[in-house]
Amino acid sequence: MPQLADRMSTLQPSAIIRMAQKAADLKASGQKIASLSIGVPGFTPPEYVYEAALKAVKADSGEYLPGRGSKGLLEAFIKTQAAKGFIYGMAEVCAQPGGKGALFNLLLALVNPGDRVLIPAPYWASYPEMAKLVGGVPVTPYAGPENNYKLTAEQLSAQLGDDVTVLIFNSPSNPTGMVYSRAELEGIAAVLRKHPDLWIISDDIYDHLIFSGEQRATHLLDVAPDLKDRLIIVQSISKTYGMPGWRVGLVAGPKPVVSALVDMASQSFTNLPAVPMAAAEAALNGPLDFLAPQLGRLQKHRDLTLAALKKLGLECPTPQGAFYVFPNIKNALGKTSAGGAVIKTDEDFCTALLAEQQVAAVPGGAFGDKHAIRLSYAGKEPDLLAGLEGLTKFVTSLK
């Protein structure tokens, strides 16, 4: 048989999707599974979003659409960015197949083979794999729980050199839920100013999901608007609007970068489908008031989860955003479960937790920290409570 390309030999498929699939398969076979693995927000968008989608179905001509994205969607996106104080024109924005597609295509456009891509760890599991797929070399400086999982300006400075092409910055963070403060961002920005040839990808997809009561997380551009000519914003309707399956991501950034994405679209996926774009347009044009009760629910879930982890002695800094916790499990490593599994690694921990207590979680190694696991607490409350109960039984049984 012919061979796959060399780049496939190192590709790690998403551990998040693998775990979620395992849980779904077990559910389909009749088992009751508490799924704390995949990052779905646990709510659906307001009714007018569905109405806009239905209208688009009926109005659709079936023709090819603009590769940059529909005019209505892009205008709505420009408005949401302007409301944050980030001003972009039509030539500086485009739609992409999800935030994930946007990140992958951006790396393809910005990274030459052998270039280093700086990805602070813990990181979202797909960043390093995407960097490798486009021929880059991921560099992953680590900030631990004692540092609230946040990279310091000094750590950043130590990693930056001529061979680093792109920094991927994500606040609020998946998997830790950490949010960089204004002072921390000022420190980071001061370092970035010393490296004018570095692209900055700011993955903002959780920016409205914060628990401080503010409208959104503080952004690098708030403290350093001068970085705008080399900073690229990645946004998505997945998390804020409860629409992960609709696959609409958005990019705002310097014209040449956005033009590159549009040119790539013309030779790869052509355009996003009309109906998801119409739904996304309606979501972005609508008010964000539906989020307040959801944030209340998420905060309650976070606190329930933290209380359970505390009782178990699993160290976990308090997340200020997104909907994940990233507890440290090093105290559990080396022990044996009630079912006789020796827990040597984060993978062993998650495998035994699923087999013995039917709770799905994701091994921290997928996010650059083998001493942790990631739990998503955004699902329905009974599911979360069952998951926490299973986790408690599992951890307390370890000998």
Q: Name the residues that contact ligand PLP, by CB under 6 A.
A: 39, 98-100, 124, 170, 174, 203, 205, 236, 238, 244, 249
Smallest separation (angstroms) from ligand PLP to the CB of 97: 8
Nearer to ligand PLP, 231 or 341 (CB): 231
Smallest separation (angstroms) from ligand PLP to the CB of 103: 6
Smallest separation (angstroms) from ligand PLP to the CB of 126: 7
Q: Classify residue 108 as exposed, middle or buried by CB count within 10 Å of its CB (0-12, 13-18, 19+).
A: middle
Which residue has 């709510």 as its token pair?
43
Nearer to ligand PLP, 240 or 337 (CB): 240
Nearer to ligand PLP, 14 or 148 (CB): 14
Nearer to ligand PLP, 36 or 341 (CB): 36
Nearer to ligand PLP, 240 or 328 (CB): 240
Give the C-alpha distances (Å, rounded to integers) separating 85 from 78, 218, 282, 367.
Answer: 10, 11, 21, 31
Q: Are 53 and 35 in contact (CB under 8 A)?
A: no
Smallest separation (angstroms) from ligand PLP to the CB of 341: 28
Smallest separation (angstroms) from ligand PLP to the CB of 248: 8
How many Cα neighbours within 13 Å face the side chain of 199?
Answer: 22
Nearer to ligand PLP, 238 or 357 (CB): 238
Pairing of strands 359-360, 34-35: parallel
Pairing of strands 373-376, 324-325: antiparallel
- 172 upstream amide cis, omega within 30 of 0: yes
Residue 115 CB neighbours (<10 A): 17
Nearer to ligand PLP, 176 or 358 (CB): 176
Contacts of 194 (CB under 8 A, 6+ apart): 157, 160
Give the C-alpha distances (Å, rounded to integers) separating 375 from 24, 231, 292, 339.
Answer: 16, 30, 22, 22
Smallest separation (angstroms) from ligand PLP to the CB of 124: 4
Nearer to ligand PLP, 244 or 390 (CB): 244
Smallest separation (angstroms) from ligand PLP to the CB of 347: 20
Q: Are 19 and 38 in contact (CB under 8 A)?
A: yes
Q: Are 321 and 206 in contact (CB under 8 A)?
A: yes
Q: How far is CA 195 from the centre of its chain?
A: 26
Smallest separation (angstroms) from ligand PLP to the CB of 324: 8
Residue 335, token pair as written in the block: 């022990």
DSSP string for residues in 162-180: TTEEEEEEESSPTTT----
